[in-house]
Chain A
């Protein structure tokens, strides 16, 4: 993100604000930011409060710290939360590997190779971007049911190895197109075949696109509640989102603090990704949108 570079045009006068208006804009933006982030801060502070205090003392600073909410929540929903986290990790790591391999292979073909009907296939690929997953949910379920894959992680992982997330193919095609063709042509002159060009030239150069794909696949698979709900029915197979829903049924009891604690834990991986990669995430979203 390169900041707006000042220059001596009338436009600059338009955008660089005078003192009082600058303060006004900052106040407005900070106000919006506080409203936006307050629910998250409230969750964090509630996760550390005794149940009796959560709804009676709405302030962010707890009167009395109760970190036991975390240990209570960790073991409080049938299985230990470490099991749910492990299960989520299996699903997300599998999905990331699948997406990175299959989408980069397809993207390489679309960006660099020539074949019959390429435009039609490419159009079809973009068309699947708009297809709602709900439209194919039931027949896919019957396929995996007949393969006896229900209550396994295969229905959540195997499709990623078949490049069903067209968004990432599109993202990578855009990226590969920006790599100079001279590089692969030089390699071709030296006798390299397309697989070698893909592996030795394109893949190393498209690392930024692969990292963006990795992070988004991780976050979106981790949060993909609908498919996990449909395919995982046994408690010991549950992932983090499914484990969290167990708290919904218990809310009549006094486990609000534990529920907020585990919600905080559940959001932590995404938050950590965000803290480390926020620039890349924001830019990945911006460029993919721009080129649509």
Chain B
């Protein structure tokens, strides 16, 4: 039986091979029928929900948000055009905005590299012929699955409280701790630790990548007597750069979006002294607590542009350090 190629379904296939005329005729009809079934309006039927979502819940809202960012809007009365006032207020007349930018950048810059380094380190340890690998992998992945929950943030708040678990631990070494949550110098770092605790997702992705590395290169290196450190920096890391890049992009975006733990740990205030006022939390407070939805829309667009900028820089920079073997 003839098996039609996919591009024939699309109607771009080459002419049918020389066959008796009636067979060719049947073939052509069959192909036309296939085109009718696989092409035409069928794809749009399947994509209809997605199209409605894309235009109604993504593209239109993005444009609406852009418009609202130039207005004064409190949901209850119509939006009032104010030009670039929201943006100039943000950059010149809103110290809390800068507090939140500071907290967010610090959070992203500290937590993402630590998280990825730990993920790669543990993945390297697990990439061996050891008993119980599956069990370890599961144990390390679990926090990633639970990490977004309010319950975890509540527990975290108690772990780092004045008489919490963390200070008990420090007590073993004779160190007297403080209330890490209510100190403006340390509150953000409890959030960083919570992010690093969830290194499971990038670890699992690293581990899958490590399993795919070509073995012959390592065999050659082992025969040449390359030491483990050399092997890591000269072979493993360069070959793994596409996955490092993938993890880096996703984790940066994720870190910029962090909301729940900052909300819970500061009980919705972003305190102490705005030290845990992550950007998303500030946006939420402006939009939904203060009902300054025009201003919050401006904040949203700045966040969108910053994330897009970071991602673009990542992609451009990746040309210089990511190694693809084609």
Contacts and interface: CB of A to CB of B under 8 A. Distances in A.
B288 A230 contact: yes
A128 B311 CA distance: 13
A13 to B, nearest CB: 7
A109 to B, nearest CB: 4
A282 B138 contact: yes
A3 B1 CA distance: 40
Contact of A248 (B197, B243, B264): B264
Interface stretch (B16-24, B81-89, B94-102, B146-154): B146-154
B33 to A, nearest CB: 8
B49 A163 contact: yes
Contacts of B47: 105-106, 109, 115, 121
Interface stretch (A24-32, A74-82, A89-97, A206-214): A24-32
Contacts of B249: 130
A135 B140 contact: no
B303 A140 contact: no
A130 B137 contact: no
Contacts of B44: 115
Interface string A262-292: 1110110011011000110110011101101
A108 B43 CA distance: 9
Nearest to B136: A29
Most buried by B among A37, A46, A263, A279: A263
B38 A39 contact: no
A109 B37 CA distance: 12
Given A114-B9, A134-B283, A124 B54 contact: yes
Interface in B144-200: 145-146, 148-152, 154-156, 158-159, 161, 163-165, 168, 197
A37 B6 contact: no
A131 B140 contact: no
Given A10-B223, A128-B58, A159-B53, A198 B304 contact: no
A260 B155 contact: yes
Nearest to B254: A132
Contact of B46 (A11, A181, A198, A270): A198
B296 interface: yes
A125 B53 CA distance: 11
A31 B207 CA distance: 19
Main DSSP-derived SS at the A contact region: helix
B128 interface: yes
A22 interface: yes
- Of the listed residues A37, A58, A240, the one surrounded by the most CB atoms of chain B closer than 10 A to its CB is A58
Nearest to B38: A113
B321 interface: no
Given A114-B43, A132-B253, A140 B128 contact: no
A225 B37 contact: no
Given A15-B128, A105-B49, A194-B42, A225 B246 contact: no
B49 A102 contact: yes
Contacts of A274: 138, 142, 145
B70 interface: no
A15 B129 contact: yes
A60 to B, nearest CB: 11
A138 B65 contact: yes
Nearest to B231: A14
B36 to A, nearest CB: 9
Contact of B297 (A56, A138, A248): A138
B240 to A, nearest CB: 12
Interface string B204-233: 110111011001001100110000000000
Given A136-B62, A282-B204, A286-B205, A163 B53 contact: yes
B14 interface: no
B245 to A, nearest CB: 10
A207 B53 CA distance: 24
Contacts of A248: 154, 264, 267
Nearest to A241: B150
B272 interface: no
Interface string B1-28: 1011010011000000000000000000
Given A25-B130, A105-B50, A185-B3, 20 more contacts: A9-B219, A15-B128, A25-B125, A26-B130, A29-B126, A33-B139, A39-B165, A108-B46, A109-B47, A161-B49, A163-B49, A163-B50, A164-B53, A186-B3, A193-B37, A225-B260, A225-B263, A247-B154, A290-B205, A290-B243
Interface of B: 1, 3-4, 6, 9-10, 30, 34, 37-39, 42-47, 49-50, 52-54, 56-58, 60-62, 64-65, 68, 75, 122, 125-130, 132-134, 136-143, 145-146, 148-152, 154-156, 158-159, 161, 163-165, 168, 197, 201, 204-205, 207-209, 211-212, 215, 218-219, 222-223, 243, 246-247, 249-250, 253, 256-257, 259-260, 263-264, 267, 280, 283-284, 287-288, 293, 296-297, 300-301, 303-304, 307-308, 311
7 contacts: A22-B130, A37-B139, A40-B155, A113-B38, A162-B56, A188-B9, A229-B284
Q: Which 6 residue pairs across A and B have the least CB separation, nearest first?
A: A162-B53, A289-B205, A139-B61, A109-B46, A286-B208, A263-B151
